[in-house]
A and B are shown apart, each in its own frame.
Chain A
Amino acid sequence: MLTWLSLLFLALFALAAFLLGRGRALKAAGGASVRLHSLPNYYGAYAALWAGAPAALLLLLGAVFGGRLEEAVLQAERPAAVSALTPDRQDVFFSDARAIAAKEAPSEVVYEGELKTALDAKVAESRKITAIVRYSTIGLASLVALIGVLLALPRVGLEFRARNRVEGWINGLLIACSVAAVLTTLGIVLSLVWESWRFFQSVNPLSFLFGTEWSPQIAMRADQVASSGAFGAVPLFAGTFLIMLIAMLVAAPVGLYSAIYLSEYASRGLRSTIKPLLEILAGVPTVVYGFFAALTVGPLFRAGFNAIGAVLIGGPLDGVGQYLMEVQNQMALVAGVVMGIMLIPFVSSLSDDIINAVPQSLRDGSYAMGATKSETVKRVILPAALPGIMAAMLLAVSRAVGETMIVTMAAGLQAKLTVNPLDTVTTVTVQIVTLLTGDQEFDSPKTLSAFGLGLTLFVVTLALNIIALRIVQKYREQYD
């Protein structure tokens, strides 16, 4: 609230600086603005920028990092009674102290005796620190704003190149925005690597990447059975691969054939109806596909396999029949097929672009030799478009590997090392979701393993994208 108020004041101050700067420039020009180097508004903008921008940045930083700062100062000195607590309880203690100070609801932990006095002391201290941080930020921001104006205003004069200066500011802002993209990547890499590193301190990276048993359930107490948990991710990789394979078996032929038909055979009218419909399929949120898989496709497939099983039972294939009677709603095939449906428009639109990029002269040459349309497609267009289509397929694979909602809702949770599409499998993304939803303590290997999986996922999808880009760059035919 206070931050918003001070930002409002700052905006008013900057407006005043704008008017002052503009007025000063006009006065220097004696009312004839043509004598100025830049338009009068640029002088105003220059003054306003110096008045507002650095102070606003300071306030924003205060709002974002102020909480961290307060916390660090508050925890710098720990009373003896608090130091006796376990690290987890210490965190709860300090967060309670801050919550009470901020008049928010604290946790339900009851403090008594020495802890109570320590808590009260810390609450008072927290209030004090909050006030100090808050007012010193505002004070500093006002000072910076004032200095900014005092520095900027005297420079406004006839010869002053205000426009160039203002454009320098704009340029800086634009560069900062483009750096945001790089910072995002850096943030992803750093957070994944950092948390994974903590995970790999308790679990050997080799046994993570090549272990064949996955059961991350860490027991609450050390003496319980299976207290260690197993973090061998191979079953997850296998499950991800199986589902991806099924999805590609659906998406690749349907997507590619529909792209060929749309670009080579379809009339303009048909094309303009089918393409938007495919775009609808592409725009459907993945959670909807997940719902469709879990409540429509799953039961349907199960009923189908059960019916086949009922026929087979008692015959020569009795064993198969028995097995088919027992399949569950959650199987790799369901998740794979639905994911394939999701990828059809993706493969189709990418392939369509690539096929359309093959120059018309190649087609005309082929037709002139007497080839039919299908021969032209198979012998001329597809070979020419092959690198692009390969890249499109790799991008689709990358999408399939990273897809989360369909598999979470339709694939299941059991980590099994199997190639049977009727079996329940689990994937990397499903495990990340399961490990990180619900209660989490942030230091257990169980939670941290999600970041190990995330890092693997990130590296694999990144590699697929880079390979796809390379294929296109290296093998693309230059026709013009």
Chain B
Amino acid sequence: MTDAAITAGAAPHGQGPRATLSAAEARLKKRYRSEMWFKAQGIAAIVVAMIFLVVLVGRIVAQGYTTFETHSISVPVYLNPDRIDRTALDGVNYDYIVAEAVMKKLNIQDDDLGTTSGKVMDLVSRDLGFQLLDKIKADPSVIGKTIEVTGPVKADADLYYKGEIKRATAEEDRKLDNQQLGWLDQLEKSGTVKGGFNFGFFTKSDSTEPEQAGVLGAVVGSALMLIITAMIAVPVGVMAAVYLEEFAPKNRWTDVIEVNINNLAAVPSIVYGLLGLALFINWLHVPRSSPLVGGLVLALMALPTVIIATRSALKAVPPSIREAALGVGASRAQTVFHHVLPLAMPGVMTGAILSLAHALGETAPLLMIGMVSFVPGVPEGFTGASTVLPVQVFIWENASERAFHERTAAAILVLLIFMIVMNAAAVILRRRFERRW
């Protein structure tokens, strides 16, 4: 710019108008170049953001989709009466009985030290053993008969079938040795092991064994927690917004409340966790890691956003509606509750759903109130110990087994699907019912 200005300024004396023109052209060219450059930077920024989005979602889908396929094994198991002590059913080594059945399928014999059966046990989930126990407990007469059981293979075997543990890897670097891989191939060829959709992932809860771990408990926990959050944050938030927008006199107190709400919306979520720990758990003795205490904390967190969304929805209702209602003799409360609030309802609901979706994905405050504990099974109610989806993601991410990593990604996919559904509901609500005046 400055260079161009100097040459342009110096030119007229010597070379006449032609030079001026070329200098101006050069300047223009330069300006257009910088225009192009600036535009390119903007495009680059958008492209970078989009690449991040694609990589983020793509990686999670790539890591997680394999979870939805799983391999299960069906074997006829002979319940040898000599091995099963009827007086102490819980003490029987059912895993060994299952391993025997698998070895029979494979046509191999156990050695004296039990290394072969140990290796076979590493391939089959303990779930089959538990199934045997349940069947015997339900009907002791099955002892001595042969029954067919079906259950998942161990996570490592499953990873081999899906090609994530490869034969090409050096034997000492993988969890399964060549002999075990040979057996797995043999089992698959004979049809004993079959692949299929992983229903277990949606019907089971957390477990220490990856192949038996599912998200049902976390989904139920999330649902219970969101119910508490919605029941507190939405009514309280809407009523607070109605007061501030429609009834409150403009004085110092309402100013304090307004500033307060704006600041609360920006408080880090972990601080709400500290509040929940100090107030609800240590002072009021609400049960730790229950959906109740989680819901209360998230309700406090969601409250400011619900208030802000409701206020803007109420602001969008034109004053003529209020004036008309007041004009025909309605009281202020009647005006608001019979006319203004119903008209603002689509906006209110959109805001409420969005802040609930945000609460659904929140993790940090829940770690403070003890939700990191291992909870097998579906939560028993609002006050029982429970876990929620994002915390389940956090717990599984910390687990060392590789099979948990794909489950983490799959749990994220479930979480994202719930969030997309909620967001889509909000968008549809806005599109269908929003009125422009």
- Which partner residue on chain B sits nearest A372 by CB separation? B35
Flag whether A182 is at the interface (Cβ < 8 A).
Answer: yes
Q: Chain B: interface residue count, which band?
A: 35 or more
Within the complex, what minimum Cβ distance (angstroms) separates A370 from chain B? 10
CB contacts under 8 Å to B, within A310-340, are none
Residues of A within 8 A of B372 (CB): 437-438
Chain A min CB distance to B420 (Å): 8
Complex partner residue of A442 from B60, B235, B282, B394, CB under 8 angstroms: B282
**Of the residues A67, A285, A375, A377, contact of B362 by C-beta under 8 Å:** A285
Q: How far is the CB of B353 from chain A (nearest CB, A)?
A: 12
Interface string of B262-277 (1 = CB under 8 A from A): 1110111111111101
B58 to chain A, nearest CB (A): 10
Task: Let me know if B367 and A433 touch, CB within 8 A.
Answer: yes
Which B residues, 29 to 70, have Cβ-Cβ distances below 8 Å to chain A?
A: 31-32, 34-35, 37-39, 41-46, 48-50, 52-53, 55-56, 59-60, 63
A115, B239: Cα distance in complex, Å: 52
Q: A360 near B: Cβ within 8 Å?
A: no
A402 within 8 A of B: yes
Chain A residue nearest in CB terms to B360: A285
Residue in A closest to B369 when the chains form the complex, CB atoms: A436
Bound-state CA distance A274–B405 (Å) is: 31
> Does A291 lie within 8 Å of B45, measured CB to CB?
no
Which of B8-16, B157-165, B300-308 makes up part of the contact surface? Answer: B300-308
Name B427's closest neighbour in chain A (CB-CB): A276
Which residues of B sit under 8 angstroms from A341, Cβ to Cβ? Answer: 52, 56
Q: Are A462 and B263 in contact (CB under 8 A)?
A: yes
List the A side residues contacting B307 at CB < 8 Å. Answer: 181
Number of A residues near B (Cβ < 8 Å) is: 94
A257 vs B370: C-alpha distance when bound (angstroms): 41
Q: At the interface with chain A, which of B93-101, B118-126, B167-175, B409-417? A: B409-417
B408's contact among A185, A291, A344, A348, by CB below 8 Å, is which?
A291
Alpha-carbon gap, A433 to B55, bound state (A) = 28
Tell me if B152 counts as interface (CB < 8 A to partner A): no
- Chain B positions 351 through 371: 1 when the CB is less than 8 Å from some CB of chain A, otherwise 0: 000000110111110011010
Q: Mark A391-403, 1 if CB is under 8 A from B, else 0.
A: 0000100110111
Report A-chain residues with C-beta under 8 Å of the C-beta of B397. 290-291, 294-295, 409
Q: Does A466 lie at the interface of the complex (its beta carbon under 8 Å from any beta carbon of B)?
A: yes
Task: List, in ascending order, chain A residues with CB within 8 A of B53's CB.
Answer: 277-278, 280-281
A252-268, CB under 8 A of B: which get 1 and which 0? 01111110111011000
> Quick check: is B257 within 8 A (CB to CB) of the other chain?
yes
Within 8 A of B (CB), among A260-305: 260-262, 264-265, 274, 277-281, 283-292, 294-296
Among residues of B, the one whose C-beta sits closest to the C-beta of A442 is B282
Q: Is the interface of A mostly helix, strand, loop or mixed?
A: helix
Say yes or no: is A170 at the interface (Cβ < 8 Å to chain B). Answer: yes
Contact A191 B275 (CB under 8 A): yes
- Complex Cα–Cα for A283 and B278 (A): 29
Judge whether A292 and B46 touch: CB under 8 Å.
no
Q: Decide: B35 and A373 in contact? CB cutoff 8 A.
A: yes
In the bound complex, residues from chain A placing their C-beta under 8 Å from that of B415 are 285, 288
The listed residue (B277, B331, B419) touching A163 by CB distance below 8 A is B331
Interface presence of A451 (CB below 8 A): yes
Asked if A361 is at the interface (CB within 8 A of a chain B CB), the reply is no
Asked if B106 CB lies within 8 Å of chain A CBs, one says no
Residue in B closest to A348 when the chains form the complex, CB atoms: B49
Stretch at the interface among A26-34, A124-132, A171-179: A171-179
Least Cβ–Cβ distance between B318 and chain A, in angstroms: 20
CA distance A442 to B288 in the complex (A): 14
Check A181–B304 contact: CB distance below 8 A.
Answer: yes
Query: Chain B residues near A348 (CB, 8 Å)?
Result: 49
Within the complex, what minimum Cβ distance (angstroms) separates A178 from chain B? 4
Bound together, the chains give a CA A466 to CA B331 distance in angstroms of 38
Q: Contacts of B361 on A, CB cut-off 8 Å?
A: 283-288
Closest to A166 in B: B333
Please indicate the chain A residues that have their CB under 8 angstroms from the CB of B35 in the complex. 372-375
Q: Which of A354-385 contact B (CB under 8 A)?
A: 372-375, 377-378
Checking A185, A192, A398, A408 against B260 with a beta-carbon cut-off of 8 angstroms, the contacting residue is A185
- Asked if A429 contacts B270 (CB within 8 A), the reply is yes
A254, B48: Cβ atoms closer than 8 Å: yes
Which of B46, B60, B275, B357 makes the CB contact (< 8 A) with A188?
A: B275
The distance from the CB of A278 to the nearest CB of chain B, in whole angstroms, is: 7
Q: Give Cα A277 to B45, complex, Å.
A: 14
The docked-state distance in angstroms from the alpha carbon of A48 to that of B390 is 43
Asked if residues B394 and A290 are in contact (CB atoms below 8 Å), the reply is yes
Q: Whole-angstrom distance between the alpha carbons of A194 and B416 in the complex?
A: 38
In the docked arrangement, what's the CA distance between A326 and B394, Å? 27
Which stretch in A134-142, A145-153, A453-461 binds the other chain?
Answer: A453-461
Given contacts A181-B260, A402-B270, contact A283 B303 (CB under 8 A): no
Q: Are A178 and B240 in contact (CB under 8 A)?
A: yes
Asked if A174 and B279 sit within 8 Å, CB to CB, the answer is no
Q: Which residues in A have their C-beta under 8 angstroms from that of B416?
A: 284, 288
Chain B positions 238-284 with a Cβ under 8 Å from a chain A Cβ: 239-240, 242-244, 247-248, 256-257, 260-264, 266-275, 277-279, 282-284
Is B236 close to A, CB under 8 A? Answer: yes
In contact, B256 and A182 (Cβ under 8 angstroms) = yes
13 chain-A/chain-B pairs, Cβ below 8 angstroms: A171-B243, A184-B300, A185-B263, A188-B272, A283-B358, A285-B363, A295-B63, A345-B49, A404-B270, A404-B363, A405-B363, A436-B367, A457-B268
In the complex, the 10 A-B pairs of residues with the closest C-beta atoms, listed nearest first: A402-B268, A285-B361, A261-B42, A257-B45, A374-B38, A191-B278, A174-B243, A404-B364, A177-B239, A178-B240
Q: List 5 additional A-B contacts (Cβ < 8 Å) besides A191-B279, A287-B393, A469-B262.
A: A257-B45, A375-B31, A403-B268, A404-B364, A436-B368
